[in-house]
Amino acid sequence: MLTRIPTVLLLAVAFAAGPSGAHAAPGHRPPASRASDDSYRTDVIFLAHLPQGRAIALWERVIGPAGEARIIAGRAGTVVVYDTPPRLARFRDLLRALDVGDGDAHIYVRPVVHLAPSALAALIERILGDAGGRDALVLVPDDRASQLVIRTTPARYAVIDKLARRLDAPAGERERVVRRLTAPPDTRPEAP
């Protein structure tokens, strides 16, 4: 009797086997030199709105391949990721922020050179704010990779890009704004 095994299950088994194809024996422990954070696991991640190809490209550009880590497209609306738990958590956080249904919004990955990406994101949010609705702005700083992931419309990204270029400059080259404020009228009584 033949039994049909779902594709996602086969992919999970293939990832769990690792690159050599051999399964670990029950009770098998990783070598003592390998830290517990370096252990790999397979996750099937369901996508709400983001196409599989974009999710894979996002993982490749932001999280990036390392060691035995890899990602493939699963069944419709899923990706299968074989990676370490901390990197899987970073990818899930990224998807949580970016996998939303905005028709006009695009995702941009912008390198940050002189400031910390979290500091640049805070400055941009303070200056531009969030319009909400169709022009919703989502900034996801990635300090580990010195990148800022931005989800917004192309027109709004042009403004953000100009602003980020001015803000992410060496300390000596940043423009300084000097504001002149007028003092209130002097209310002190005149000296006799």
Number of folded domains in the chain?
2
Residues 162 and 151 in one domain: yes
146-183 core/surface letters (b: 16 or more CB in 10 A; e: else): ebbbbbbbeebbeebeeebeebbeeeeeeeeeeeeeee
pLDDT given for residue 53 in this prediction: 92
Look up residue 87 and give its amino acid.
R
Cα distances from 175 to residues 7, 65, 134, 181, in angstroms, run: 56, 38, 31, 19
Reading the chain (192 residues) residue by residue, the pLDDT tens digits are 444 555 444 444 444 444 444 444 444 444 444 445 569 999 999 999 889 998 999 899 888 888 899 999 999 899 999 999 999 999 998 888 888 876 678 888 899 999 999 999 999 988 887 655 555 788 999 888 899 999 888 888 999 999 999 999 887 665 556 566 676 776 667 766
**Looking at the structure, do residues 106 and 165 belong to the same domain, yes or no?**
yes
Q: What is the pLDDT of residue 33?
A: 42
Burial grade of 109 (CB within 10 A; 0-12, 13-18, 19 or more):
middle
The whole model's pTM is what?
Answer: 0.60
Same-domain pairing of 61 and 95: yes
CATH number, domain at 92?
3.30.1370.120
Calpha distance 175→86 (Å, rounded)? 38
Residue 183 is assigned to a structural domain of this protein: no
Based on the domain organization, do 80 and 111 belong to the same domain?
A: no
Q: Report pLDDT digits (tens) over 156-184.
A: 899 999 999 999 988 766 555 656 667 67
Q: Determine contact, residues 178/143, Cβ cutoff 8 Å.
A: no
Q: Which residue range is the domain that position 120 belongs to?
A: 102-171
Instruction: Write down the pLDDT at residue 102.
Output: 64
CA distance between the termini of the chain: 113
156 and 112 assigned to the same domain? yes
Cβ atoms 46, 68 nearer than 8 A = no
For residue 1, being part of any structural domain is answered with no
Query: Residue 23: what pLDDT?
Result: 44
